[in-house]
Structure 1
Amino acid sequence: MTNGNGKRKVALGLSTVLVSSIVLSACSSENSAAGNSGSGEQQAGSLKIEIFDRGNAPAGLTASDNFLTNYVKENFGKASNINVEFVPIPRSEEVTKLNVLMASGTDVPDIVFTYDSGTFNKYAEQGGLTDLAPLLQEYGQNLTKFLGEDTLRYGQYDGVQFSIPAKRSTVGKYASFIRQDWLDKLGLPVPVTTDELYNTLTAFKTKDPGGTGGKVIPLGMTIAAAQYDSLVWSFIKPVSEQERFELTQNLSSRDYPVLLPGFKDAIQYLNKLYNEGLISKDFALDENKETLTQNIGNGLVGAFSDDNDAIFYPDGTYDILSKNNPNAVLTAIDPYTNSEGKTAKPVSAPNGMYIMIPKSSKHAVEAIKYLDWMASEDHLQYIQNGIEGEHYKLEDGVPVSIPDMSEESANKLMGGGDIGIIANGRIFESQEKNNEAFVKSFRTKYQEIVAKALEISNTNPIEQVYTSRPIEAESKYGTTLAEKVKQLMVKSIMVSPGEFDATYESMMKDYMSSGGQAILDERKAAYSEQK
């Protein structure tokens, strides 16, 4: 699995045939009733577990046959007299392959999972999943304690516990960064408000402290959320709980403030920055941020926002910048202030992937026992970190990877993130330890700025709006509307200031008629239900 910040979503796209097959296979299986009841009648001795196949296994190893899968088979399977089998599914085709398996009703693993909330909701809606509440109560005490109620509720559909949500080690997403050496050259302080940042960006453009020969990009920008979300949400005005619930639009598992008061102001501010030459001219073509990464590495960018960990990986953005300009220094900043003077920014929900047991499974008890085993003693820590002295050393109780381990040792850790499915990231007895482990997973030279970026990403958090039932219109229109938001932003930001209002209103009208109004209407109805 990837870090919680790292967040890939796959559109659902279930065909009518597949949906019908899921229902038929779930409802016609009389054996599954006993299998899911937690009674002694359930067949024992076998358990099939989905595992992502990323196509990067070292020679001689596979996603389903390696050191850690053998650890599970030996320490859980053999010890419990259960034959464990890992079923590889290509990561790039996970939803498509899972749909086929779920439709078969016979070949589907006993434990399956997805990051896509729409896929989970559809399976639950169509009756394809096991009610896990009684199984958790009887066999999942360790698992329940590990996850906690705040995480578990994200696995409910209409109040029924149809999935086990993985727990995130940290929910922080975004931080911003600025060229400290440019500030020093101009004698400027680190900006701590939106206005101060604007003045700094203007100075970067007019004085070109990086000596770019007129190629300076004061604020790096793309059409990906990590670059604009902190700025946009800082313009959102305070609203009541009811307004926040009703006016939020959750598209592709992310809250969008497109209907909240202040969103238009945010886009108009970006229009101002664009027309003054303060943000990347090609931002609309750079959703994968390839151009931004290149421009930062080449020393052209003065400031930018990103996922809190994105730039610090080996051979990543900061490494490239340092290689091209050894004197370049980045500082983590938190400059986007809202009307209350707070640097509010969105964070992730506390859950990661959705772990499910198909209704057709005859081994639901074994499945919960396996997940509970993972949450007990030090099994999850072993799966995530390996062997002390060979793979890591302890520093204040936190495992720190040994950088010069042998290739043979490194191969033993293959698939740890994809086997330790109950956690997104390394989880310890406290959030402080989680954060410390996050920081220490990076090279020593970056740990100080990583710690600051992590702190920023969790400062004044805007939590996702929780809905006790899925909003059907969001599942129906979410993918289309997410694209509509991008179109609205691009066209409204790139027009001249005099054309902004007409362009924005036209794009908003198109957005609302393409499903935005349907979501708004349903969320208004859902608010009274949830209350």
Structure 2
Amino acid sequence: MMKRMAGLIFVLLMVFVSACGNNGGNNTSNETTGNNTAASGNNAAATTDNAAATNDAAAETETVAPADPFGKYPELVEFTTIRPTMNNPKFPEGESYEDNVFNKFMEEKLNVKPKFVWMAPQDGDAYKKKLDLSIGGNDIPDVFQIVGKNITEVQATVKRLVEADMIEDLTSAYDKYASPAIKEAFASADNRGLDLYKIDGKLYGMPGQSALEGMNFVWVRDDWRKKLNLPEPKTLEDVEAIAKAFKDSDPAGKGTTVPLAMQMQTETDGLFGPGFIFDQFDAYPRLFYKDASGSVVYGGIQPQIKDSLKVIADLYKNGEIEKDFALKDTGQLQELLASGRAGIVGQAWWGVWYPLFMTLQNVPDADWKPYAIPAKNGKLNMGATNTSNTVLVVKKGFKYPELPIKWLNVYNANRDTEWWVKTSQDKYKDANEKATIWSGISIMRTDDIVNQAKDIVAAVNGEKDPATLPFKNNDAFTNIKKFIDELQSQPQAASKNLLQWQNTRSWYDAMGSAAKLESNVVYSAFDGTTPTMEKKLTALNELQMKAYHKIIMGKADADQEFDQFVSDWKAQGGDDILKEINEALSK
């Protein structure tokens, strides 16, 4: 507007000067003067319109500089905050929560500095209780982190703050300042992480998000498989055939072989449970998830569970699972695996790091290898809880609502760099608290680990330049390459080259095989508690385990026992829980 007014005044002054010059220099008649004046007036009007149009066009073409997700503030921005801590933290000399190399790095990058109002241990609810008092007293800092036992608890705190009009709507700030990598990370899970902290369509916090890594793999004693000349398993039926072969041939000797080691004492699909079998039937026995209609159901009572249990029952009947599997705890399963008597076990991709390496300590010739077994739908099925249980929020009225977004942009872009990794490994080598940075909330693509494995495998196979791998993957590549090219054909290759073997089996074989399959991820719809859950869920879980055990052990007809269990589960509180969950999610 000021530019347009200045242009108009300039034009009028020029018209005035021109008119004065004409009148003073010409002794003309009134008619002539009138005509000239009229002409001057028309020219002035035309010039004024042109000037206005020119300035309008200039205003339209004048663009505001785009927001910089990594932009450094021109002057130091100090913001008040709080933070959860660990109990009895030990830092490297000269380091603390307040003053450390990572916060200094962030200050250098963004020109921002946290000022801590208070800190409290996260364990034991001390941090949450103190934060609740601060909220109740309307005394919150500029930017702070909300934590909780589960996502529902965190969401409740966010909702409380929103209803009290105490925190900022970050929708616009996120759209403008979140880096492309951050936006891609959330998009990898269809923005589920962000949606958890939206109220009436508005985003009120920046959550963390972790990568999915809960796929269930079938780990096989590959030295036994090769000795018996058995093909690598590609289907569940192949796994059953290998278990039968191990039972019949007894490779451990003296009738001590346990074809399939399995733990199912109190959890349906825990650390050493039959999760890989449930996955085959798209069955998730401890997950509350949404069905095709959008209603929340409990996975443990769905028909496909019964199909899974029948497969496990056959393995039990054939003597391929220990008779006392229902009594074994985690420690006993670890002892079994360490003894070298087990042939197959369900485990995560990192199982070779713990506890499967213990087998090699007693059986130097042993070799465990993981297999990703696609389900009937051709996909790698997996159940998953939501990937975010912490969030950063901003006090209403804080001048820089985009600050935590920019902080997380910078942190997540740098946490895997050589400097960051080496600093954590070297400077913080002997520290029990390595996360001294004010906010080290990771925001990862849910397929991040799978994608890392895909790149590592490609580099090992000569399909990708190893120099393009991120620094954090260099060691894995080097170890895998050496094992595959030089070591794996040697006697006792695994036990004599433990680190190379572990990297190969976890990254190359486990996640590398998972990367070749399409994933079908079924997310939990509810990770909190309801009133009936608090009163009855423990008893319902015991009811579930009792029914599952009876079916597996053949102590009851599978169809009748399962149907009775489903009926009892619903009547003894299950239906009330589902009603409470659906009501909570509809609010």
Which shows bigger deviation, 345-354 or 302-311? Answer: 345-354
Unaligned runs of 5+ in 2: 1-76, 284-288, 457-469, 477-498
Do the aligned partners of residues 137 and 56 (structure 1) sit closer, same or farther apart at CA in structure 2, a change above 3 Å counting?
A: closer
Do the aligned partners of residues 418 and 499 (structure 1) sit closer, same or farther apart at CA in structure 2, a change above 3 Å counting?
A: farther
Match of 1:330 among 344, 350, 368: 368
Matched, 1:132 2:169: yes
Do the aligned partners of residues 248 and 284 (structure 1) sit closer, same or farther apart at CA in structure 2, a change above 3 Å counting?
A: farther
Partners of 1:384 and 1:417 within 8 A in 2: no
Q: Which has the larger radius of gyration?
A: 2
Match of 1:516 among 558, 574, 584: 574
Residue-by-residue CA offset, 1:82-141 (whole Å, 9 max, x unaligned): 443385443433x56314422432566632233621212322444457353345247633
Do the aligned partners of residues 293 and 121 (structure 1) sit closer, same or farther apart at CA in structure 2, a change above 3 Å counting?
A: same
Partners of 1:477 and 1:515 within 8 A in 2: yes
The equivalent of 2:502 in structure 1 is 446
Partners of 1:172 and 1:457 within 8 A in 2: no
Which one-letter code corresponds to 1:370 in the other structure? P
Which one-letter code corresponds to 2:434 in the other structure? M
Matched, 1:145 2:183: yes
Aligned-residue offset at 1:329: 0.6
Aligned-residue offset at 1:406: 4.9
The equivalent of 1:420 in structure 2 is 440
The equivalent of 1:253 in structure 2 is none
Cα-Cα RMSD: 4.3
Which one-letter code corresponds to 2:307 in the other structure? D
The equivalent of 2:462 in structure 1 is none
Matches of 1:277 and 1:440, distance apart in 2: 44
Q: For residues 52-201 of structure 1, what are the structure 2 equivalents within 5 Å?
A: 52-53=85-86, 55=88, 57-58=90-91, 60=93, 64-65=97-98, 67-71=100-104, 74-75=107-108, 79-80=111-112, 82-85=113-116, 88-93=119-124, 95=125, 97-105=127-135, 110-114=143-147, 116-127=150-161, 130-134=167-171, 136-137=173-174, 140-142=177-179, 145=183, 147-149=185-187, 150-151=190-191, 152-157=194-199, 159-170=201-212, 173-201=215-243
Do the aligned partners of residues 104 and 410 (structure 1) sit closer, same or farther apart at CA in structure 2, a change above 3 Å counting?
A: same
Matches of 1:439 and 1:190, distance apart in 2: 28
Matches of 1:513 and 1:418, distance apart in 2: 48
Residue-by-residue CA offset, 1:472-526 (whole Å, 9 max, x unaligned): 9x64455654763464134422454251445433432332134432455578889
Do the aligned partners of residues 120 and 493 (structure 1) sit closer, same or farther apart at CA in structure 2, a change above 3 Å counting?
A: same
Residue-by-residue CA offset, 1:422-478 (whole Å, 9 max, x unaligned): 3359998994589646865754432222222124456342223586xx699x64455
Match of 1:351, SS state, is: coil
Aligned-residue offset at 1:260: 3.1
Do the aligned partners of residues 434 and 196 (structure 1) sit closer, same or farther apart at CA in structure 2, a change above 3 Å counting?
A: closer
Partners of 1:132 and 1:162 within 8 A in 2: yes
Matches of 2:454 and 2:101, distance apart in 1: 22
Matches of 2:382 and 2:438, distance apart in 1: 26
Partners of 1:178 and 1:331 within 8 A in 2: yes
Match of 1:305, SS state, is: strand
Residue-by-residue CA offset, 1:330-373 (whole Å, 9 max, x unaligned): 111123633x4x25321546733331427xx3575556403313
Do the aligned partners of residues 465 and 204 (structure 1) sit closer, same or farther apart at CA in structure 2, a change above 3 Å counting?
A: same
Higher RCO structure, 1 or 2 (CA under 8 Å, sep 6+): 1
Match of 2:223, SS state, is: helix
Partners of 1:102 and 1:108 within 8 A in 2: no
Do the aligned partners of residues 141 and 298 (structure 1) sit closer, same or farther apart at CA in structure 2, a change above 3 Å counting?
A: same
Residue-by-residue CA offset, 1:139-172 (whole Å, 9 max, x unaligned): 6333863644433224334534233221334455
Matches of 2:402 and 2:227, distance apart in 1: 59
Do the aligned partners of residues 171 and 205 (structure 1) sit closer, same or farther apart at CA in structure 2, a change above 3 Å counting?
A: closer
Matches of 1:456 and 1:181, distance apart in 2: 19
Unaligned runs of 5+ in 1: 1-43, 250-255, 393-400
Q: For residues 288-303 of structure 1, what are the structure 2 equivalents within 5 Å?
A: 289-303=330-344
Match of 1:357, SS state, is: strand
The equivalent of 1:232 in structure 2 is 278
Matches of 1:209 and 1:363, distance apart in 2: 70
Aligned-residue offset at 1:64: 1.8
Match of 2:412 among 374, 380, 384: 380
Matches of 2:327 and 2:199, distance apart in 1: 38
The equivalent of 1:309 in structure 2 is 350
Residue-by-residue CA offset, 1:212-270 (whole Å, 9 max, x unaligned): 64252523334343533331131248xxx984455654xxxxxx522433112212332
How many residue pairs align between the two structures?
450
Partners of 2:349 and 2:370 within 8 A in 1: no
Matches of 1:326 and 1:86, distance apart in 2: 55
Partners of 2:301 and 2:566 within 8 A in 1: no
Matches of 1:61 and 1:243, distance apart in 2: 54
Match of 2:434, SS state, is: coil
Partners of 1:182 and 1:210 within 8 A in 2: no
Residue-by-residue CA offset, 1:258-311 (whole Å, 9 max, x unaligned): 243311221233233334432344544556x33222221221221112222243
Which one-letter code corresponds to 2:121 in the other structure? P
Matched, 1:484 2:540: yes
Percentage of matched positions with identical amino acids: 15
Which one-letter code corresponds to 1:130 in the other structure? I
Which one-letter code corresponds to 2:570 in the other structure? M
